[in-house]
Chain A
Amino acid sequence: MRLHDTVLGALLVVLAAAFFGYTFTFPDMPGQKYGPSLFPRLIALGIAACGIVIAIRGWRSGLPWISISSPLRRLQGWLALLAMPLAVVFYLLVAERLGFLPTAALIVGGLCFWNGVRWWWAALTGVVVAGLVQWFFGTLMRVPLPRGWFMQLIAGG
């Protein structure tokens, strides 16, 4: 998904302006000419300059406002692309309540199934991988993976 350079440049200038504007909320350093706002302002000016150069150079390119690569011209392409970010969002939303093991198993199993793996093989992969990761990170490395009601049910509290 490629934006037309002029659109990209304009977006960058807007981003740079917001970045620059926000620095006015920073205090000055007493007795110093240079404070916390100096670097962000220089960076914002630089980003804006790059944005302008990209916008001007792209003006005559004749490309469409957004060029979509061929896999993304079909709905399946978008679903394939979004499946993984959505899985991460799913994890963020439910892992704390549901617990790591079932959430991870659902994500891995679900994505495998989505990728065309047979359902029983996908389910088995999900459970085994989630179990191994829980054992390695949760038990060996002592990462406080979310327990959720699943572990409470198993461990009884």
Chain B
Amino acid sequence: MSAIAAAAGLVFDPYVITVVVASAVFGLFVGAIPGLTATMATALLVPITFFMPPVPALGAIVTASAMAIFAGDIPGAMLRMPGTPASAAYTDESYAMARKGQLELNLGVNLVFSVAGGLVGVLFLIVAAPLLAEAALNFSSFEYFWLACLGLSCATLITASGRTRAVLAMLIGLGIGCVGMDPVAGYPRFTFGSVDLMSGISFIPTMIGAFAVSELLRGALASHDTRALVQEKVGALFRGIGDVTRRYWRNFLRGSVVGTAIGALPGAGADIAAWVSYAMAKRFSKEPEKFGTGHIEGVVESTSSNNSALGGAWMPALVFGIPGDSITAIVIGVLYMKGMNPGPTVFLQNPQFIYAVFMIFILANLLMLPLGWAAIKGAGKLLRAPRNILLPVILLFCIVGSFAITNSPYGILVMLIFGIVGWLMEENGIPVAPLVLGIVLGELLEQSFLTSMMKADGDPTAFFTRPIAGTLGALTLLVWVVMAWRALAGTRKTAA
């Protein structure tokens, strides 16, 4: 109980509240501008949070990412351009509603169910994370090895692009993770004599490059014509929400639960959650023929889903140090920077930080209601923010942010290289998210494997003898079998 009181003391502090509100405004802005994503918002925030105590630092990331995922719905409905990839699943549906004169109902539903879905995700996080952490206290290197394997496998199993390319991205990430001292013997690998590379390729500049600079490069080529707004003024937002809730509460519940679960799966985040939930809504709907014509049912389910995925993604991140999505991959980097190495012991040693994160999650979702309302009302101006000025300013933030982490031009160089690599990867259909997961999990995977092998004296059956390790191992193998089966089925289909 004292930990909860301590957490409340940490959260309800004028400085923390100011940081949360400022990050909320920042998140809404970044999310609402097409081409700027929630992950980018997080990556850009990290250099600033670098100088903050842990609670405001994590609070800033939680708030900005939640707001950005919601705000992505606004240009989706008004311009038919998803503000973030998480809104892409139902952008056409939202736009069709707006064309039918139901813009207010659509945005109202997006706002209210984003808040509600987010709260369900947090609820699951609050209940499940401490239980998982208690179980995880008994984990040894065998369990962590399988968890890392399972995380990497899930990330490549659930992917929107081709599976081979997702596996490839993950392997490249693992390869990048090999740079620096090896985790067992401490031998410097692939450092080519550079002192900067001894501790590995700097993670945050890599993220800023892969998620922010590559987006800027794409933005420089894409045309985002924001003149064609459906309508200038947005009327009363909350009219009709009661009716929608009465009719579609099942969709809301299913969307939130499925979203949380997908968020908790390593590597799959809000965007995949939204696609899956939209498809499920259509599959189980009594009127599937209405989907695509401006029907609210799918929007309710998927907008609840993508916000609940955020809470879900924090579960494996806090408990095991395995990111649930690309945002929590960055969070794990931040936790290490703050000396709060993620894992079950954080729950024992620093429970007040964990409760503080939970509280900020709830606070951020509640704040979303008034601030999101204001963002929708001001959307006409927000969506006309001049991109030709915005992109250079973001680039300067990227440069300074990368420099601030390493205090040397090395960070900027890493950012530039990964910006170009990220852009080239996306151009060639190779997803960036598994790459990040590979970088984050590489060391854990290698360390747990080598330690386990030493403990077992080279006997591979030891990976299956402990009950939890055995179960996780069997699950991993099952995922591999499913992947192999799907790959074979796919080959046969193309051959036929």
Contact = CB atoms under 8 A, between A and B. Distances in A.
Partners in one complex: yes
Interface string A98-128: 0000001001100110011100000001000
Contacts of A24: none
B213 A53 contact: no
A124 B142 CA distance: 59
Interface of B is mostly: helix
Interface in B81-103: none
A40 B424 contact: no
B229 interface: no
A107 B458 contact: no
Given A29-B185, A34-B450, A85-B416, A2 B429 contact: yes
A145 B403 contact: yes
B18 to A, nearest CB: 14
Contact of A33 (B407, B415, B458): B458
Interface in A85-104: 85, 87-89, 91-92, 95-96, 104
A116 B388 contact: yes
B140 to A, nearest CB: 18
Q: Which of A34, A35, A133 has the most CB of B within 10 A?
A: A34
A141 B51 CA distance: 7
A55 B187 CA distance: 34
A53 B221 CA distance: 31
B450 A108 contact: no
Contact of A107 (B395, B403, B415, B453): B395
B168 A107 contact: no
A115 B175 contact: no
Given A26-B187, A133-B396, A84 B168 contact: no
B455 to A, nearest CB: 12
A144 B220 CA distance: 30
B316 interface: no
Interface string A12-41: 100000010011001101001111101110
A79 B187 CA distance: 43
Given A36-B187, A50-B171, A112-B392, A91 B399 contact: yes
Contacts of A19: 175
B22 to A, nearest CB: 12
A84 B165 contact: no
B391 A115 contact: yes
A115 B392 contact: yes
Given A40-B175, A81-B220, A107-B396, A22 B404 contact: no
B178 A111 contact: no
Interface of A is mostly: helix
B217 interface: yes
Contacts of A83: 220
B419 A91 contact: no
Interface string B412-428: 11011001100010011
Interface of A: 1-3, 8, 12, 19, 22-23, 26-27, 29, 32-36, 38-40, 43-44, 46-47, 50-51, 53-54, 57, 69, 71-72, 77, 80-81, 83-85, 87-89, 91-92, 95-96, 104, 107-108, 111-112, 115-117, 125, 129-130, 133, 137, 141-145
Given A8-B428, A84-B220, A88-B415, 19 more contacts: A36-B189, A40-B189, A47-B172, A50-B165, A50-B168, A51-B168, A84-B395, A87-B392, A87-B395, A88-B213, A88-B419, A96-B409, A104-B396, A108-B396, A115-B387, A117-B388, A141-B50, A141-B404, A143-B400
Interface of B: 47-48, 50-51, 164-165, 167-168, 171-172, 174-175, 178, 182, 184-185, 187, 189-190, 213, 216-217, 220-222, 386-389, 391-393, 395-397, 399-400, 403-404, 407, 409, 412-413, 415-416, 419-420, 424, 427-429, 442, 445-446, 449-450, 453-454, 458
22 contacts: A22-B190, A27-B187, A35-B185, A39-B445, A43-B171, A43-B175, A46-B171, A50-B165, A51-B168, A54-B164, A72-B221, A80-B221, A85-B217, A85-B416, A89-B416, A91-B399, A92-B416, A107-B396, A108-B395, A115-B391, A133-B400, A141-B404
